[in-house]
């Protein structure tokens, strides 16, 4: 109460201004900034956080988007820059190019399936073990290294081991008297290329598929056991349907990984071009094929189309996997 019997001004009710008008000592307190100042500060913070993505976006534009634009534009252009469909017609009507696409598809599918099965079993063994155990840490560390151990280094490693002068070849020759030309020729064949590709597909599958296996809840297995189900029933009706989208999605990623690989095949196979990347190399580096670089770009455009189709299927599977997770 005031000395005159009135009530004290309440700032919350807007009485501060009235008290000031009457000579009171109340003044509005300083609160947090509102209006344009707060909005401007929020925009600056958001822009500062977005700066962290600039290097990644620059990398994507320079090394992914821009080369793709050049490939697509060159596939439908002549050497003088005129628009044409001749490059694409040449690719789809030439047996050597179609066989190269067939070889790439077969190699990618076979190595994706082999790497997916073997890598999936290894990932399952790791998931069943101790989450903090030495085996899990060792497998993940080795897989992280071997998944990136490709290209010329991987080819050299296999040649130094199984080539005509490789360690294993020389040991077999010393022990059994077999000629290196009879025991080491497989590494330079299409089958040998598949074996080398599978080497880096297995650890990649472990890294991709292990999180899906870790997502299986132990309560689901217990519920299946309580209802009288055996191990087959659990994997057939519970774990299998849940893991199927992730497993197929991982196979698609392995397919794309093998389909786009170049350096390993280039180091192993020096005669002929059984896959598309080696056919493209012919048009980019050969001194005998001059003035037909855009045919190589048409081949690359075909690879882009295949990758887009496969990755679209992978996106659909990821959407289904997200529904299971939610």
Residue 134 lies in a domain: yes
**∠ CA 180-183-185, rounded to 5°:** 90
Who wins on pLDDT, 32 or 263?
263
Mean per-residue pLDDT over the chain, rounded: 85
Residue 283 has what pLDDT?
82
Residue 232 lies in a domain: yes
Residue 213 has what pLDDT?
93
DSSP, residue by residue, 182-250: HHSGGGGSHHHHHHHHHHHHHHHHHHHHHHHHHT--HHHHHHHHHTT--HHHHIIIIIHHHHHHHHHHH
Rg (CA), the chain: 32
Query: Is residue 77 classed as helix, strand or coil in its secondary structure?
Result: strand
Residue 283 lies in a domain: yes
Cβ proximity of 100 and 302 under 8 Å: no
Residue 87 lies in a domain: no
The DSSP call for residue 5 is: S
pTM, full prediction: 0.81
Residue 303 has what pLDDT?
96
The DSSP call for residue 83 is: B
The Cα 11–Cα 23 span in angstroms is 15
Asked whether the predicted pLDDT for residue 269 surpasses 50, the reply is yes
290: containing domain: 95-325
Asked whether the predicted pLDDT for residue 134 surpasses 50, the reply is yes
The Cα 26–Cα 12 span in angstroms is 12
Residues 6+ apart with CB under 8 A from 173: 179, 180, 183
In this predicted model, what pLDDT tens digit does every residue of 201-256 receive, in sequence order? Answer: 999 999 999 999 998 888 998 998 898 888 899 999 999 998 999 999 999 999 99
Cα 86 to chain centroid distance, Å, stands at 33
Residue 233 lies in a domain: yes
Who wins on pLDDT, 10 or 115?
115
Give me the mean pLDDT over the 258-272 stretch. Answer: 89
Count of all residues that appear for the chain in the document: 326
Residue 1 has what pLDDT?
43
Domain count, the chain: 1
The Cα 76–Cα 194 span in angstroms is 33
If pLDDT is split at 50, 70 and 90, which confidence band does 15 have? very low
18-23: Cβ within 8 A, 24+ apart: none
Whichever domain contains 319, its CATH number is: 1.10.3720.10
Residue 288 has what pLDDT?
55
The DSSP call for residue 8 is: P
The Cα 296–Cα 71 span in angstroms is 9
In this predicted model, what pLDDT tens digit does every residue of 19-30 receive, in sequence order? Answer: 444 444 444 555
Cβ proximity of 318 and 249 under 8 Å: yes
Closest CA to 157 of 125, 200, 190: 200
The Cα 99–Cα 96 span in angstroms is 5
């Amino acid at each position: 109460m005031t000395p005159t019997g009135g009530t004290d001004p309440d700032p919350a009710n807007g009485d501060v201004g009235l008290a000031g008008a009457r000579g009171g000592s109340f003044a509005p307190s300083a609160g947090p900034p509102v209006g344009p100042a707060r909005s401007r500060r929020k925009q600056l913070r958001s822009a500062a956080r977005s700066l962290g993505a600039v290097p990644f976006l620059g990398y994507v534009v320079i090394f992914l988007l821009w080369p793709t634009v050049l490939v697509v534009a060159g596939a439908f252009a002549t050497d003088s820059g005129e628009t044409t469909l001749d490059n694409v017609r040449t690719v789809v009507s030439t047996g050597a190019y179609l066989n190269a696409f067939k070889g790439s598809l077969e190699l990618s599918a076979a190595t994706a399936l082999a790497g997916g099965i073997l890598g999936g079993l290894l990932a399952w063994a790791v998931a069943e073990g101790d989450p903090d155990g030495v085996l899990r840490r060792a497998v993940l560390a080795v897989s992280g290294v071997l998944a990136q151990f490709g290209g010329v280094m991987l080819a050299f490693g296999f040649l130094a081991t199984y080539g005509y002068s490789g360690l294993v070849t020389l040991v077999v020759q010393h022990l059994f008297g077999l000629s290196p030309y009879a025991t080491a020729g497989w590494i330079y064949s299409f089958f040998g290329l598949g074996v080398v590709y599978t080497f880096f597909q297995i650890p990649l599958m472990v890294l991709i598929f292990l999180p899906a296996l870790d997502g299986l809840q132990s309560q689901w297995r217990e519920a299946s056991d309580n209802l009288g189900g055996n191990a087959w029933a659990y994997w057939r009706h519970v774990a299998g349907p849940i893991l199927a989208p992730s497993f197929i999605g991982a196979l698609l990623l392995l397919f794309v990984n093998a389909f786009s690989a170049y350096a390993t095949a280039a180091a192993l196979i020096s005669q002929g071009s059984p896959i598309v990347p080696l056919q493209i190399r012919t048009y980019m580096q050969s001194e005998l094929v001059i003035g037909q670089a855009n045919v190589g770009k048409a081949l690359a455009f075909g690879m882009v189309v295949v990758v887009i189709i496969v990755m679209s299927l992978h996106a659909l599977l990821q959407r289904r996997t997200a529904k299971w997770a939610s």
